[in-house]
């Protein structure tokens, strides 16, 4: 069944690009909230401790909880042969599962200053950026422009397109994971432009948030994913 393939561990793990702790709901894979790779206040002053607490322990945890609840309901509906409920639940699974996938990537895209945060990319990724975008600064300008122009909630991504063998800047709406836009896109880094990611600190000045986040961007992680995706 196609729906079961959507829920497979391989699909989720490929989208996230990292190992997830998975439980089971009658054979269906469930999710758990990953730990942050740094303290809640470690990204200050760029991202406040208050925002990180709310973002991780409220918003991300809610996606995980609602995803798992949707799987339980799906299991019951499939057992009853209730096609209408199965179809209805797919949007909940996509939204909350996507929220988990996106945030799991996002936490690893960030690092405290002094621990790699804000240090420019090196190696093959740096070369690819210069080749396609002329410079890192021009790439950042493009990502910031895409983020500022995105209406409503969503994400801006730097991705590697395995089919074309090149980098790409993409946007996704709401919590759609990048893999739903094109299966061959591997997310290297994503910038969360939902208001809950910045509003308590930056208010309605989204551009200031977009400009500041690069001070804690973990390019080393992006480079590692890039190298792996090309192998």
Helix (H) or strand (E) holding 125: helix 123-133
What is the pLDDT, as a whole number, of residue 26?
56
- The candidate with the shortest Cα–Cα distance to 198, out of 208, 190, 189, is 208
Q: What percent of the chain has pLDDT over 70?
A: 88
39: helix, coil or strand?
coil
Helix (H) or strand (E) holding 126: helix 123-133
pLDDT at 17 exceeding the cut of 80: no
- Tell me the average pLDDT across 63-86: 95
User: Higher confidence at residue 195 or residue 13?
Assistant: 195
- Tell me the average pLDDT across 117-134: 98
Beta-bridge partners for 30: 23
pLDDT at 6 exceeding the cut of 60: no
Q: Which residue's structure tokens are 């391989």?
A: 10
What is the CA angle 27-105-179, rounded to 5?
70
What is the pLDDT, as a whole number, of residue 13?
38
Q: What is the pTM of this model?
A: 0.87
Between helices 219-230 and 123-133, what is the axis angle to 10°?
Answer: 90
Q: What is the mean pLDDT of the chain?
A: 90
Structure tokens at 155: 């994400």
Burial of residue 188 (CB within 10 Å: 0-12, 13-18, 19+) is: buried
**CA-CA distance, 126 to 8, in Å (whole number)?**
33
**Over the stretch 203-214, which tens digit does the pLDDT of each residue have?**
999 999 999 999
pLDDT at 4 exceeding the cut of 50: no
Residues 6+ apart with CB under 8 A from 223: 121, 122, 123, 124, 125, 126
**DSSP of 90-117, one letter per residue?**
HHHHHHHHHHHHHHHHHHHHB--TTTTT
pLDDT at 107 exceeding the cut of 70: yes
Q: List the binding residues for Mn(2+).
A: 55, 103, 192, 196
Which contacts of 165-173 are long-range, i.e. CB under 8 A and separated by 24 or more positions? 165/230, 166/128, 166/132, 167/128, 167/129, 167/132, 167/133, 169/139, 169/142, 169/143, 171/146, 171/147
**Over the stretch 147-182, which tens digit does the pLDDT of each residue have?**
999 999 999 999 999 999 999 999 999 999 999 999
Domains and CATH numbers, the chain: 2-109 (1.10.287.990), 123-230 (3.55.40.20)
Beta-bridge partners for 172: 155
Q: List the binding residues.
A: 55, 103, 192, 196
Q: Which residue's structure tokens are 């758990």?
A: 32
What is the pLDDT, as a whole number, of residue 29?
82
**Over the stretch 88-98, which tens digit does the pLDDT of each residue have?**
999 999 999 99
Strand pairing category for 166-173 and 185-192: unpaired
């Amino acid at each position: 069944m196609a729906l079961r393939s959507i829920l497979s561990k391989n699909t989720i793990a490929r989208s996230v690009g990292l190992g997830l702790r998975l439980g089971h709901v009658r054979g269906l894979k469930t999710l758990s909230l990953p730990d942050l790779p740094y303290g809640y206040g470690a990204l200050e002053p760029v991202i406040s401790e208050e925002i990180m607490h709310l973002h991780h322990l409220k918003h991300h945890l809610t996606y995980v909880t609602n995803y798992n609840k949707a799987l339980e309901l799906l299991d019951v509906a499939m057992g009853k042969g209730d096609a209408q409920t199965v179809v209805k639940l797919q949007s909940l699974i996509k939204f909350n599962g996507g929220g988990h996938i996106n945030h799991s990537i996002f936490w690893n895209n960030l690092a405290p200053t002094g621990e790699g945060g804000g240090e420019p990319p090196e190696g093959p990724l740096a070369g690819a950026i210069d080749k396609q975008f002329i410079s890192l600064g021009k790439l950042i300008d493009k990502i910031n422009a895409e983020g500022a122009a995105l209406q409503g909630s969503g994400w801006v991504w730097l991705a590697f397109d395995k089919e074309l063998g090149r980098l790409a800047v993409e946007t996704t709406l709401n919590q759609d994971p990048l893999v739903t836009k094109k299966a061959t896109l591997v997310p290297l880094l994503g910038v969360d432009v939902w208001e809950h990611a910045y509003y308590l600190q930056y208010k309605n000045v989204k551009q200031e948030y977009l400009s500041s986040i690069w001070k804690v961007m973990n390019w080393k992680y992006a480079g590692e994913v890039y190298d792996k995706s090309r192998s």
